[in-house]
């Protein structure tokens, strides 16, 4: 009884077979079919390799939302070299809330040589080339995000030569924590002192002929310091043509959350507009000589996430490639074979020409060949 039920079950399953097998004796192969099959297999192999390369790659997904965090502090990372001695310059931050953040809260004044060594000049030229490419091709920023924390350091390398030249510049580096409101980070003549209406710099004690605000920005960023990220002002160098010259940078800071397979960080991107002019009160160009970086924060926050194609999607796309090529090549081969057979049949029919007809007296014709007569006597 069990064997009978098992046989019925097997027969029922066989009837549901959607892939019936055809005996080999009924299968006819042809040269055209083999050629089409070879083309189909080659195309499938190429597309499979391309699809696998896409599966291995990742891309960056950008999402935007309103930044609701206004209570935390904003970190400013600074590494700037000014072509003046350290006792002549002062740096600090003053925001819209009239809160002053002195440089003593996190910045270091280090005597340095303004001219770079050959190795440092090569580093600067390379960084400037990268900056120019980033301005032309914005998609390279995704590559920088994905290579963060595993690429080479973007910091200025130390001098490889033992120069006996005395220091003629001041390197100001470190970080400051400021309120998340618009503010002004500036470097000008004299040390900063508190003032009831803001703050002031002791510029009267510095000789006017020693003013030289030629500077080099080795690094400037906002938020968490992420190695490998290149910021818009990194590698910038400005040469002052006059003692009374003002350099202005207008910066818009965008909070950014970065999530890749290598790192997760709360950092900030920014865009910048530059302007420089000579201070000449007689000509109506008023202001103070120095370097001024006026920053403002965007109300939007960007979340950058590195994504990868899931395996199930890769498998579905691969099945679509294989099935689609099989179906398409089969249809094209059938259509081509049909057209060739029609042309070949018409060519064969055209090879048989009609025989001259024999007319009858009543107007009918006889298309039959005449019988051969026996001429033997």
Q: What are the tens digits of pLDDT across the range 12-48?
A: 767 666 556 666 665 666 676 778 788 888 888 898 8
Average pLDDT over residues 231-257: 91
pLDDT reported for residue 217: 93
Instruction: Report the pLDDT value the prediction gives residue 347, as an integer from 0 to 100.
Output: 72
Would the pLDDT of 247 be above 90?
A: yes
Answer yes or no: is pLDDT of 166 > 60. yes
| Average pLDDT of the residues of the chain | 80
* Cα 53 from Cα 310, distance rounded (Å): 13
Give dist(CA 45, CA 21) in Å, integer. 26
Average pLDDT, integer, range 142-163: 66
Task: Assess whether pLDDT exceeds 90 at residue 77.
Answer: yes
Amino acid 246: pLDDT: 92
At 368-377, the pLDDT tens digits run 545 444 444 4
pLDDT at residue 337 greater than cutoff 60: yes
User: Residue 350 above 90 pLDDT?
Assistant: no
- Checking if the pLDDT of 222 tops 70, the result is yes
- Between 366 and 288, name the one with better pLDDT: 288
Average pLDDT over residues 178-198: 82
Give the chain as a 3 state SS string: CHHHHHHHHHHHHHHCCCCCCCCHHHCCCCHHHHHHHHHHHHHHHHHHHHHHHHHHCEEEEEEEEECCCCCCEEEEEEEEEECCCHHHEEEEEEECCCCEEEHHHCEEEEEECCCCCHHHHHHHHHHHHHHHHHHHCCCHHHHHHHCCCCCCCCCCCCCCCCCCCCCCEEEEEEEEEEECCCEEEEEEECCEEEECCEEEECCCCCCHHHCCCCEEEEEEEEECCCCCCCCCCCCEEECCCCCCEEEEEEEEEEEEEEECCCCEEEEEEEEEEEEEEECEHHHCECCCCEEEEEEEECCEEEEEEEEECCHHHHHHHHHHHHHHHHHHHHHHHHHHHHHHHHHHHHHHHCCCCCCCCEECCCCCEECCCCCCCCCCC
Position 345 scores a pLDDT of 80
Q: What is the pLDDT of residue 258?
A: 85
């Amino acid at each position: 009884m069990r064997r009978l039920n098992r046989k019925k079950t097997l027969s029922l399953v066989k009837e549901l077979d959607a892939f019936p097998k055809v005996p080999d004796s009924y299968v006819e192969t042809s040269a055209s079919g083999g050629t089409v099959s070879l083309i189909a297999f080659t195309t499938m192999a190429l597309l499979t390799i391309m699809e696998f390369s896409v599966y291995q790659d990742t891309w960056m997904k950008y999402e935007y939302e309103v930044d609701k965090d206004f209570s935390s502090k904003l970190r400013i990372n600074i590494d700037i070299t000014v072509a003046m001695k350290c006792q002549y310059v002062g740096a600090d931050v003053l925001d819209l809330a009239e809160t002053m953040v002195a440089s003593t809260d996190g910045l270091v004044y280090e005597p340095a040589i303004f001219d770079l060594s050959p190795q440092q000049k090569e580093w600067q030229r390379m960084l400037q080339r990268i900056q120019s490419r980033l301005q032309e091709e914005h998609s390279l920023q995704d590559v920088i995000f994905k290579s963060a924390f595993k690429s080479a350091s973007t910091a200025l390398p130390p001098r490889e030569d033992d120069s006996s030249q005395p220091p003629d510049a001041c390197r100001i580096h470190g970080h400051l924590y400021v309120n998340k409101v618009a503010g002004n980070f500036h470097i000008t003549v004299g040390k900063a002192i508190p003032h009831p209406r803001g703050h002031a710099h002791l510029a009267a004690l510095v000789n006017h002929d020693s003013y030289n605000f030629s500077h080099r920005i080795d690094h400037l960023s906002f938020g968490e310091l992420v190695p490998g990220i290149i910021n818009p002002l990194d590698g910038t160098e400005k040469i002052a043509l006059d003692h009374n010259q003002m350099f202005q940078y207008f910066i818009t800071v965008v909070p950014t959350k970065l999530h890749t397979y290598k790192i997760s960080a709360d950092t900030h991107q920014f865009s910048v507009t530059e302007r420089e002019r000579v201070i000449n009160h007689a000509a109506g160009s008023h202001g103070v000589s120095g370097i001024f970086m006026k920053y403002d924060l965007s109300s939007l926050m960007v979340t950058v996430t590195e994504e990868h194609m899931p395996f199930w999607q890769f498998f579905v796309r691969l099945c679509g490639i294989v099935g689609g090529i099989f179906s398409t090549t089969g249809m094209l081969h059938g259509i081509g074979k049909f057209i060739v057979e029609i042309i070949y049949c018409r060519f064969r029919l055209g090879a048989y020409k009609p025989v001259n007809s024999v007319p009858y007296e009543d107007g009918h014709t006889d298309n039959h060949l005449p019988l051969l007569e026996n001429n033997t006597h």
